[in-house]
Structure 1
Amino acid sequence: MKGIVFTELLELVEDKFGLETVDYIISNSDLESNGIYTSVGIYSFSELSQLLQHLSERTQISIDNLLLVYGEYFFRVLEKSCPELLLAYTDPIEMISAIESIIHFGAGKIYLDLELPAFKVIEKTENSLIIDYKSSRAMCYFSLGLMNKTFEFFNSTATIELEKIMEDGTEVRFVIHKN
């Protein structure tokens, strides 16, 4: 998993819960990296899982809710690192429906060892989108946070329903209706 996912998570935790919480989640996890991350490094997903688990225990916030907030927070990374990508679209439905074919295709070519979630468009209209998510990492709430911010970026709103196909969150259907 790309290091930026770790560095940004720790920044969010420090901003929201303080440096003591960052120290707590790192100290209580068995991390191969010892909790030392660079944004360009590649790290095990198990490290992220441990950090989130300890953060959830410490804050009494579910991992799903933490991932949702983190996805919303992480959107700013996209705004900073690839503004041309965001500006290539004029509509949030168009951008979200292009996740698999454009964003993941490009990232997969640059970072060959990344395991990215799969997205499959089931149905698309001008004001609605049904898209399936599949990932062994079950970070669907992170994706939901990114989708929420995508609509906000385009000064739009939507109702986004998350329907779990698999109870563990490894397969999810997003039903999106633009307001």
Structure 2
Amino acid sequence: MKGIVFSEFIELVEDKFGLEMADNIIEESNLPSQGAYTQVGTYDHTELITLVGKLSEHSGIAVEDLVTLFGEHLLQRFLALYPQFFENVNNCFDFLDTIENKVHIEVKKLYPEAELPSFDSQQSGQSMQLIYRSNRPFSALAYGLIRGSASYFKENIDIEMEDRSSDHKSFVVFTLTKKEDHA
């Protein structure tokens, strides 16, 4: 997993829980990297799982909720770091539709060795089915990215998750439905 993901997680912890909390979870986690991440380095995804677990222990917030929060945070960071991914995109569904065939292609150009999840999407009117597959257990991160995207585009979207994962691989079907805003 690329270092940018780890450094953004540490930034989230520092922002939401404080520098001391970030230092504590890194120290207590006994990580092979010792918590020293570079943006372009590659690290074992289990380090992130360990860090989130320690943060959960200290904060009392469920691991899945923390990973979802991190997904929302990452969407905001991607907006700041990679605004080109959001150009000429007018809504959440259209953005999510670009992940596999636009965003991930550009990421692979920057980081050829990156192991990315796959996002297959199909739109139908006011709904979208987004199929997430990954060798890593981060469907809650994808959920957070989807929520962050809906928030960015100021859209009210119901998100249902059907987890079909097995054997330590994530396979989740997200069903997104746009809700009408009642003024």
Query: TM-score normalized by structure 1?
Result: 0.92
Query: How far apart, CA to CA, are the structure 2 residues paired with 1:112 and 1:153?
Result: 28
Q: How does 1:148-159 map to 2 (within 5 A)?
A: 148-159=147-158
How far apart are 1:30 and its partner, in Å? 2.4
How far apart are 1:5 and its partner, in Å? 1.0
Matched residue, 1:143: 142
Matched residue, 1:15: 15
Matched residue, 1:133: 132
| Consecutive aligned runs of 4 or more in structure 1 exceeding 4 Å deviation | none
How far apart are 1:17 and its partner, in Å? 1.6
Letter matched to residue 56 of structure 1:
S
**Preserved contact between residue 93 and residue 126 of structure 1 (Cα < 8 Å):** no
- Residue by residue, what CA displacement relative to the aligned partner does 1:24-83 show, whole Å, maximum 9, x if unpaired? 211111222211112232222121111111111222222111110011111121111111
Cα RMSD (Å): 1.6
Q: Secondary structure at the match of 2:29?
A: coil
How far apart are 1:109 and its partner, in Å? 2.7
1:162 aligns with 2:127: no
Q: How does 1:73-152 map to 2 (within 5 A)?
A: 73-121=73-121, 123-152=122-151
Tell me, which stretches of 5 or more residues in structure 1 are unaligned? none
How far apart are 1:169 and its partner, in Å? 6.9
Identity among equivalent positions (%) equals 35
The number of aligned residues is 178
Query: How far apart, CA to CA, are the structure 2 residues paired with 1:25 and 1:35?
Result: 9
Query: How far apart, CA to CA, are the structure 1 residues paired with 2:27 and 2:138?
Result: 23
Query: How far apart, CA to CA, are the structure 1 residues paired with 2:141 and 2:169?
Result: 11
Tell me, which stretches of 5 or more residues in structure 2 are unaligned? none
Q: Secondary structure at the match of 1:28?
A: helix
How far apart are 1:13 and its partner, in Å? 0.8
